[in-house]
Amino acid sequence: MANMEKMTFPKFSPVDLVNFFRQHILTAAEAKNFTKNDIYPNPKLEWVQKIYMRVLQLVFNIRVENFYMIPVNLEIQYPHLVEGFAPLGYIVTLMARLLPMCRVYDFHPSDVVNPKGKQILTLLSGVVNFLHFRDTRMEIYSAFCMSYKSALDNMNQHQKTIQELEAKKEKLTTIPPEQQAEFKALSNDIHDLQQIISQEYRTKDMAFQEKLAQKKVDFAEKNKKLNQYKLTIATMKEEQERMKSQIVESPEQRKNKTERMKENVHRVKQARLETVEKYDHYRERVVLAGLWLPDIQAYNKKLHSIEANLEMYKRIREEIRQEEEQNVKENLDLKSISSEEAQLKRTILLKKEKLAKTDIKNQKKQEDFEQRKKEILEICSRIQEKRQAMVGRESHVVQEIQQINRKKEEVLERAEEEKKKCQDVVASFRIALEKYHDNLQKTFDRSTECKREKLAELNRMIRR
């Protein structure tokens, strides 16, 4: 049972197996009487053997009477006793050959003699899978046979056309006797024209060769002059370097020049580093600005509203401060005016109540701002999840495209193989045609030689 857990084919249900065997394996009367209980959970021996027999008939093309025949070379004292066991023996031996092809390797004779439900389902699932595979291969093979037959028909048709064309060619190549004199005259004229054309070509060729030789001479002279110019330039450069080496500079001037050069190099390096740092800083800021631009715009709107609230708060604080200053001034005069002090206290209490209300409003707005911020962060996380899902879909689509491209390449390779086969057939056909043409030429030469010999003999007979 360890092998059964590593199956390379799907395990079908009893209902699927019953439907398959009714439609494709069993005959009409057998299909009507065949049910699920015949194979599962307690399989019936006669039905299991009948299914095996029908499958073996389909796969190995064996007739029913062959299952009941005993081999002639089998020496048994009482062969009529073995006739009842012959079908079981044939079924066991043939199923032992069939099931390894179905990728089932744990078949035992007890599966035919004493079948069990789960084991029978596994064996029949392997058989059904093999039959499906066999049907698909048969369709492909029949299509290949049809294409091969059509190719043979085309080849026969081409052979017929080639034979017709060869007959037409023979008719066109053979010169009738009444036109032989004209053909000889035309061949002589063509020969004369060829000689004239060859003479003219020779004269033109000689003139062209002379011009080419003159051009080569001119080209060699120009190369000599160019080499002389190169030598003079090289000598002048050597003299220039020698003159430069003779020019002597003072050590102080050299030191000043080297110091200036070092300062210039240091400045250039510093400027380059500063530009690189500024470029990286600006690039990071540009990238961050592009990423956070919509959030910043939203936050700017919120900040504007908060700034307006802060301005109102500042105004109120300013008013409070002014009132407190007034209270200080009035406290100095409280000793003289008690009634005004009471009124001022009432006004202060009212202002404080207003401040408390404004503080509560500001706290609510701050809480709303934090809530809105959390909602924005959740929306961003959802967008990120959607983006990851889209990336997964895109990778899946890319894999499907790669599979389609692989299938396309396989189809192209098959087409190239078919093309190579056709080319091989055409090449073999051409080789056969060439051999046929060679044989025709040989037979034609032989026939001409025979004709000449016969004409010579006739001439000899006439002379005698």
Work out the percent of the chain whose per-residue pLDDT is above 90.
3
Query: Which residues are CB-neighbours of 371 under 8 A, at least 6 positions away?
Result: none
How far is C-alpha 166 from the geometric centre of its chain's CA atoms? Answer: 48
- 288 pLDDT higher than 70: no
For range 39-61, the mean pLDDT: 88
Q: Over 70: is that where the pLDDT of 293 sits?
A: no
* Most confident among 14-18, 38-42, 207-211, 448-452 (mean pLDDT): 14-18
The mean pLDDT of 129-151, rounded to a whole number, is 90
pLDDT at 209: 79
**What is the average pLDDT across 4-23?**
78
Contact predicate 190/182, CB 8 Å = no
Over residues 407-411, the mean pLDDT reads 86
- Mean pLDDT computed over 130-144: 90
Model confidence at 23: pLDDT above 80: yes
Distance CA 192, CA 211 (A): 29
| Residue 14 CA, distance from chain mean position | 41
Q: What is the pLDDT of residue 249?
A: 52
Cα–Cα distance, 416 to 414 (Å, whole number): 5
Tell me the DSSP string of 75-93. Answer: --S-HHHHTTTHHHHHHHH
Q: Is 27 left (phi over 0), alpha (psi -120 to 50) or beta?
A: beta
**What does the pLDDT read at residue 128?**
92
Which of 356, 334, 355 has its CA nearest to residue 345?
334
In the predicted model, is pLDDT for residue 294 greater than 70?
A: no
- The per-residue pLDDT for 2 is 35
pLDDT of residue 327: 65
Q: How does the average pLDDT of the chain come out, rounded?
A: 78
Worst-scoring range by mean pLDDT, 55-59, 162-166, 205-209, 282-286?
A: 282-286
From 107-121, 293-307, 386-400, the region with the lowest mean pLDDT: 293-307
Least confident of 27-41, 213-227, 273-287, 346-360: 273-287
Asked which of 31-40, 60-69, 206-215, 271-280 is least confident by mean pLDDT, the reply is 271-280
- pLDDT value at 409 more than 60: yes
Predicted pLDDT at 441: 83
For residue 181, the model assigns a pLDDT of 78
Confidence grade of residue 291 (pLDDT, cut at 50, 70, 90): low
Per-residue pLDDT at 251 = 66
Q: Give the residue among 235, 192, 200, 154 at the shortest CA–CA distance from 425.
A: 154
Q: What is the pLDDT of residues 169-200, one digit of tens each?
A: 777 777 777 777 777 777 777 777 778 877 87
* pLDDT level of residue 299 (50, 70, 90 thresholds): low
Q: Which residue has the tokens 């299938």?
A: 407
Q: How far apart are CA 1 and CA 5, in angstroms?
A: 7
CA 362 to CA 263: how far, in whole Å? Answer: 60
- In this prediction, residue 1 carries a pLDDT of 36
Per the CB < 8 A criterion, the answer to whether 88 and 112 are in contact is: yes
Average pLDDT over residues 58-69: 82
Q: What's the pLDDT at 164?
A: 86
Report how far Cα 207 is from the mean position of its chain's Cα atoms: 62
Q: Check whether 346 has a pLDDT greater than 50.
A: yes
Dihedral (Cα; 379, 380, 382, 388), 10-degree rounding: 160
Reported as a pLDDT band with limits 50, 70 and 90, residue 325 is confident
Structure confidence at residue 89 (pLDDT): 81
CA pair distance 56, 89, nearest whole angstrom: 13
Of residues 50 and 260, more confidence is placed in 50
Q: Is 152 exposed, middle or buried (0-12, 13-18, 19+ CB in 10 A)?
A: exposed
Given the structure tokens 């000449």, which residue do they identify?
A: 452
pLDDT in tens, 251-285: 676 677 777 777 777 777 787 677 777 667 666 66
108-112, 196-200, 327-331: range with lowest mean pLDDT: 327-331
Ranges 121-130, 311-320, 387-396, 443-452: which has the least confidence: 311-320
Return d(Cα 416, Cα 92) in angstroms, integer. Answer: 44
